[in-house]
Structure formats: structure tokens, C-alpha cells
Structure 1
Amino acid sequence: MFWFMLIALVAVVAAVALAVLGDGEVLGEAEPDRLHDPLPDDRPLGRADLDALRLPTALRGYRMSDVDDVLDRLGAELTERDARIAELEAALAGAHAAQQRPQPLRSPEPPQPPHRPGGPR
């Protein structure tokens, strides 16, 4: 039983050493797990853009900087939209008020006598 445990221990140590040290090849640079920003820069974000968005995960969850960047952009776009909506609503309210405002009444002009050619001198 001792020899079996010793052989098993040597096999495990050899497997771990081979996995850690590799076979002598130099490993290439690993691609960083960063957000490839699929969000469009040329138009406002839509619901489909957010549904398709997948943030990369880090060792203990999501990368806070990537999440913060996306949330900052969404916040800025929502602020822009809210300001535009408020501007359009104010313009619409002004147009409705102008239509509903009564037109000022003009005082009637006194009637002019008809013009007669060759009349009194």
C-alpha cells in the first residue's frame, strides 16, 4: 500500500509540474478579457443594443471600469434625450397656447365716403 501511495504521489507531482512548466514552448500573449465595445458611436443606443451587450467578467465578477463606462454613456444619452423631450414639449405647449390665444379685436375704421370723380371743388 505504501508503494502505491508513493507512485500516485509522484504521478500527481509530475502532472502538476508538467502543467505548470509546460513542454518548454513559450506561450503567446493572452488576449485581455476587455470589453470590445459593440455599442454604436454613430447613433443613440437602443434596447436591442443593450440586450446584445455582454460585459466581460473578471476574477471576482465584472470589471468595474467597463461597467462604469457603459453606465456613464447610458446616463449621458438619457440626459440628452430628457433635455430634448423637455425642449420639444415646451415648444408644443407654446404652439398650443398661441393657437388658443384670442386675436385682439380691431376697432372698425370709420366709413369713407365714396370717391366721386370731378366732384365739388
Structure 2
Amino acid sequence: MGPVARTILDRGPPRRRTAVGRACHDLTVTTALIYLVVMIAVAAVVFLLASAVFGRGEELAPLPPGASPTRLPPEDVTGDDVRALRFQQAVRGYRMSEVDWALEHLAGEVDQLRGRIAELEQEIATRTSAE
């Protein structure tokens, strides 16, 4: 026989788990489960305390449903007004109704300005032809 076979035969029959070994194993598993439950409970308490103290991180109260923070003056929109324009963010971008409203408002303002420019150019053309 080789040295490996002799070592296996010298060991004898496989050992059975004793009651003490089983109790020790059960105690280790129970201790690990208790640690896990305690860690989850502590994490939950810390989360709830942080939520109560800090809230959702908002500085202002949320807007009522249907309200919009998007503002433009009713007339004489300037470039600074457009640059300062901000839209409320939704789950996948901006609220389409607010963007549509702002674009419609700006389009009306541009149409009005273009109409006024056309009137003034017509007036200038009639004055120069009369002279």
C-alpha cells in the first residue's frame, strides 16, 4: 500500500458529530443571526431618525398639484427672462406641458415683434417714397 492509503486506513472510521459539536455549531449560527437582526434594526432606526431630522432635502414646500414654477412676464420678454427660465423636472426629463407653454409664449412674443418690425419697415418705405 502507498503512503496515502495507509494514512486513510490509520484514521479509522469517520467521526460522528457529537452533541457538544452540534450545540457549538447551533450556537454559532444563532449568534450570527442575532447579529444580523440587530444590525438591520439599528440601520432602520438610523434611517428613520435621519429622515425625520433632515426630511427629503427640500428647502421649499412642494408645489400643489397642477402648479408650475415656470414664470415669464406677460409681455416684453427679454433674453434674460428666457435665460432664467427653469422647468420642473419629471421622472424622464421636463414636464411637457410647461415646455409647451413656454414655447407658445415665446412664439407669440416673436410673432408680435416680427409684426411690429414689418409695420415699421412699411412705414419707413412709405415715408421714403413720399419724399
Q: Shared fold by TM > 0.5?
A: yes
Deviation at residue 86 of structure 1 after TM alignment: 1.0
Q: Distance in 2 between matches of 1:69 and 1:8?
A: 51
SS at match of 2:71: coil
Pair 1:52-2:84 in alignment: yes
* Cα distance between partner residues in 1 of 2:71 and 2:41: 49
Specify the alignment match of 1:40 in structure 2: 73
Give 2:119's aligned residue: 87
Larger RCO: 1 or 2 (CA < 8 Å, sep 6+): 1
Aligned equivalents of 1:30, 1:95: Cα separation in 2: 57
1:19-46 deviations in whole A, cap 9, x for unaligned? 8xx8xxxxxx9533742353222x3111
User: What TM-score, normalized to structure 2?
Assistant: 0.54
Root-mean-square deviation (CA, aligned residues, Å) is 2.7
**What is the TM-score normalised by the length of structure 1?**
0.58
1:12, distance to aligned residue in structure 2 (A): 3.8
Give distance in 1, aligned partners of 2:123 and 2:113: 15
Deviation of 1:15 after TM superposition, in Å, equals: 5.8
- Detail structure 1 runs of 4+ shifted over 4 Å in the superposition: 13-16
Cα shift at 1:93: 1.2
Q: Identity of counterpart residues, as a percentage?
A: 31
Unaligned runs of 5+ in 1: 23-28, 100-121
- One-letter identity of the residue aligned with 1:62: Y
For 1:10, give the aligned amino acid: A
Query: Which residue in the other structure is 2:36 paired with?
Result: 5
